[in-house]
Structure 1
């Protein structure tokens, strides 16, 4: 889909602030785990403070996002209890985790936090329409929902180690995780309908 067509698409509304929980203490971590552990599929992403100087080491991820259809949970990794909760969810073999372009996220989770993710589906590869070109979240939202997902470069390259995060960062991060889940479900529905009609 070309850029000039995408501009004419209606904007993707995204998740609201009231449906996002920025996990900051033990009680919130337990509440997040109770909600997320009931799901069979979760939207998943991470955010890392960008590195601008040559030779500077990437010490991310600084934020881990997990989402269901109704809620998104943001886990700053500075809190130990957050890492423990996220580790148990990301390593759970019975919960499928879906997201876009997860290769680096998975590597950094293992090297920094010792999290060995299980049952993860990278939608960028799974949804791609040619071997040369991965599908991104923006393209998936345009294809499956006929809407334009706003992806601010300024926000994506902002300081994800901030405490507290800005409202823009919170919405951006939560949408990244939830959009992955919602587009995955839509993609799956279309695939299932297609296979049923061809029977």
Structure 2
């Protein structure tokens, strides 16, 4: 039986030094077919990507989301934020997610997977739910990116609540949205690397 590990609580995490996030100079917004093709070429050079999606929040009862509205993919050097309202971006995003042989690591991906199948019409390949690995290693609590960064790096991962609940369907994403989205994927990749599962 694997040993049981505990995850630091909010108060303990708040005291940790900050995790170094990607700055805007290492984040590429992908909103046209040309940008999507360039991103595709660069991403295929990596054997694993950090992966996440964002959808415009729904606030009314019974309101269905037509998300995801953006897809984030990250390597150890850079992150790409694909805007899925552009048909060419959507097509390249679908090709990337259907690409076999490349690990796409993230947290809480069950919902993302269902929405991707609905929106992009493909079954994503190589999806790795990082929470599953933590469970296998004896962590009982569900692990999100904040807990994982605290456990593996002894650092605090900053997440803006304002950015989290912002409108991801906007054609013009703010700098804070880009930083938030890109770093969710980037941190997931760093966690995957630190777990040594590659």
Write the distance in 2 (CA, Å) between the matches of 1:10 and 1:140.
Answer: 14
Conserved 8 A contact 1:96-1:121: yes
Matches within 5 A, 1:62-73: 62-73=69-80
Give the alignment's TM-score, normalised by structure 2: 0.91
Q: Which runs of 5+ in 1 are unaligned?
A: 193-199
Q: Tell me the matched-pair count.
A: 190
CA distance in 2, matches of 1:131, 1:150: 22
Higher relative CO (Cα under 8 Å, sequence separation at least 6) belongs to: 2
Question: CA 1:7–1:132 in structure 2 vs 1: closer, same or farther (change >3 Å)?
Answer: closer
Deviation at 1:58, TM superposition (A): 1.1
Pair 1:164 & 2:172 matched:
yes
How much does 1:39 deviate? 1.2
Q: Runs in 1 of length 4+ with deviation above 4 angstroms?
A: 129-132
| 8 A Cα contact 1:89 1:95, kept in partner | no
Alpha-carbon contact 1:101-1:122 (below 8 Å) kept: yes
TM-score normalised according to structure 1 size: 0.91
Aligned-residue CA RMSD (Å):
1.5
Q: Is 1:78 equivalent to 2:78 in the alignment? A: no
Q: 1:46-125 residue pairs with structure 2 within 5 A?
A: 46-125=53-132
Shift of 1:132: 4.9
Unpaired runs of at least 5, structure 2: 1-7
CA distance in 1, matches of 2:122, 2:160: 29
Q: How far 1:133 sits from its partner (Å)?
A: 2.2
More displaced 10-residue stretch of structure 1: 48-57 or 127-136: 127-136
Give the alignment partner of residue 187 of structure 1, picking from 161, 179, 195.
195
Equivalent in 155, 173, 191 of residue 147 of structure 1: 155
Q: Given the alignment, which residue of 124, 127, 132 partners 2:134? A: 127
